[in-house]
Amino acid sequence: MTRKLSLSAVLTLSVAVLIAVGIWWRHGHARQQAAQNAASVAGQSSETNAPAAGSNPPAAAAQPAAAAGPVSSAQAADADSTSLERLAAVPASSALPDSSEWKAGVNYDVISPAQPTTVAPGKVEVLEVFWLGCPHCYALEPYIRQWLKNKPAYIEFVRVPVMWGPVHRAHAQLFYTLESLGRDDLVEKVFAYMHNVEDQSGSESVLFSNSKEDTLKQQEGWAVQNGVSGDAFEKAYNSFYVGTQVQQADEITQDYEVQGVPFIAVDGRFSTDVGKAGSEDKLISVINFLAAWEHDHKQGAG
């Protein structure tokens, strides 16, 4: 025996069919859009970033291009998800430090994703990535030294040598060796020595040789001339502490994607440099502005 459908049942069935068709169409369109986004992401990642003002990394050796192939739906979804995560990590403009003088995208950039810091709760980390052989870092050094004398107590200053190549690694090892010996005063002194030699010789290969043994010999000789025991220097130079610090500096250089030095990061969230600020003294003002905003933001969140 057949049963006749009522008008309301027919209408209900029709609506269900329309909804099912709509869901199917949206799903197919989303997958097509994800594939397009994945292709766009892949294209953008192959482009080379323009170097920032200051000392720039050496050109990387050319790498063979990956073989082109179809993008799977899983790869497309992953690429699209990554793009959305990066966008979500960037604070809304209303949640960014802003003033009549300092603007996001002009005087500082938002770091996305934000990087972890090692400072205590309630503190704000100001990190400088630098190179002992960089003339721009040397020019900034007096401003940093003066700022450290009267910076706010909530700021913790961290210095990390950049790790682009062998000469940078050698100078990083020298920096951390002096730090481990408690001779921060010699960091300022080696800065001056290296740039005086650079100015006279026109070479940036100061206290550095293609041979690790010769590099150690040169650096140890300089340290001995400045009151450091040769045995103490060599022991610190080859210590686990210095090796670990050099490795961490390498990771930080990569994580922050440092393209030029001096590079300043405030609490792992904002980056700036002399070029964006306009001058060395203005850079100090930008650092203080960003650090104060971040400190107030933390206090409010707490």
Residues 57-69: tens digit of each pLDDT: 875 433 333 333 4
Convert the pLDDT of each residue in 263-292 to its tens digit. Answer: 999 999 999 999 999 999 999 999 999 999
Quote the number of domains for the chain: 1
33 located within any domain: no
CA distances from 258 to 160, 162, 172, 265 (A): 11, 8, 15, 10
3-state secondary structure of 263: strand
pLDDT in tens, 21-35: 454 555 454 444 544
Is 92 within a domain?
Answer: no
- For residue 236, the surrounding DSSP H or E stretch is helix 230-237
Query: Residue 213's CB: how many other CB atoms inside 10 A?
Result: 8
Q: What are phi and psi of 198, to 5 degrees?
A: -60, -45
Residue 209: inside a domain:
yes
Residue 281 lies in a domain: yes
Q: Is residue 8 part of a domain?
A: no
pLDDT tens, residue by residue, 192-219: 999 999 899 888 789 999 999 999 999 9
* Helices 135-150 & 184-201 angle (0-180, nearest 10): 150
Note whether residue 229 is domain-resident.
yes
* 249 part of a folded domain: yes
Residues contacting residue 118 through CB under 8 Å, at least 6 positions apart? 125, 158
Q: How many helices (H) and strands (E) does the chain have?
A: 10, 5
The domain of 119 spans 97-301
Q: Is residue 82 part of a domain?
A: no
Give the single-character DSSP code of 258: -
Q: What residues are paired with 108 via a beta bridge?
A: 104
Instruction: Give pLDDT, residue 300.
Output: 77
Q: pLDDT per residue over 96-114, tens digit each?
A: 998 999 999 999 999 999 9
Q: Cα separation of 249 and 241, whole Å?
A: 12
User: What CATH number should be reported for the domain holding residue 275?
Assistant: 3.40.30.10
Two tokens, residue 162:
């950049």
What is the C-alpha to C-alpha distance for residues 235 and 229, in angstroms, rounded to an integer?
10
pLDDT of residue 90: 55
